[in-house]
A and B are shown apart, each in its own frame.
Chain A
Amino acid sequence: KAGVTQTPRYLIKTRGQQVTLSCSPISGHRSVSWYQQTPGQGLQFLFEYFSETQRNKGNFPGRFSGRQFSNSRSEMNVSTLELGDSALYLCASKEGGGAEQYFGPGTRLTVT
């Protein structure tokens, strides 16, 4: 099976802009989670989607949002970008109820 794919791999945006990141899970996986990884804060959970519904949410402002489509693909949107949003954004997928998830390679977002 193909692994988790994320597009784009690298992105440069300007403060105040918005950005959309995409994640395609492993075939058959219905759960998709998003994480932000920064040197200062480490790996932090953003949110999880399962069957097109947000099932869990981390402690991030409302500028961070996501959605999941009927084919389980997911997008994450960040509006009004700030310099502090520069990070590696990781997507992970898993079968519905399990604890083990599989990570994609990430999207490196740089905000200037």
Chain B
Amino acid sequence: AQSVTQLDSQVPVFEEAPVELRCNYSSSVSVYLFWYVQYPNQGLQLLLKYLSGSTLVKGINGFEAEFNKSQTSFHLRKPSVHISDTAEYFCAVILLSGGSYIPTFGRGTSLIVHP
């Protein structure tokens, strides 16, 4: 069975500082990896995804992530955060099941950006 571990439940950071949100996964088969963001009282929005090819993936709002197969990691990074980046971030492993792709989510990391 697959699982996703987000190592930090909360990450406080000052505005304009860099940030890394960590995600490790376990799976016996090849997977797709996604990062989602959830703002208060909203649903999830896709930030970026790794399907195949280049291990460095760029997403929206200046975020990027690197797929590392040997370390089974997919850490999310941003070189300079804004107050508006304050939100909950979810890493997800996507597996093929019953003819469809079903995600398993990590527990989430709350990014808190201070002025």
Contact = CB atoms under 8 A, between A and B. Distances in A.
Interface of A: 4, 31, 33, 42-45, 48, 50, 55-56, 90, 92, 97-106
Contact of A56 (B32, B43, B102, B107): B102
Interface string B32-68: 1010100001111110010100000000000000000
B115 interface: no
8 contacts: A31-B100, A42-B107, A55-B100, A90-B44, A102-B46, A103-B43, A103-B44, A106-B42
Contact of B102 (A4, A45, A98, A100): A45
Interface string B79-115: 0000000000010001001111111111110000000
B52 to A, nearest CB: 11
Contacts of B105: 42-44
Interface residues of B, number: 25
Contact of A99 (B42, B45, B98, B101): B101
Interface of B: 32, 34, 36, 41-46, 49, 51, 90, 94, 97-108
A50 B49 contact: no
Given A45-B104, A90-B43, 13 more contacts: A42-B107, A56-B100, A92-B44, A98-B101, A99-B32, A99-B34, A99-B51, A100-B46, A101-B103, A102-B46, A103-B43, A105-B43, A106-B43
A4 B98 contact: no
B6 to A, nearest CB: 10
B4 to A, nearest CB: 10
A99 B94 contact: yes
Nearest to B32: A99
Contacts of B103: 45, 101
A99 B106 contact: no
B102 A48 contact: yes
B99 A55 contact: yes
A24 to B, nearest CB: 13
Counting chain B CB atoms within 10 Å of each CB, which of A4, A31, A43 scores highest? A43
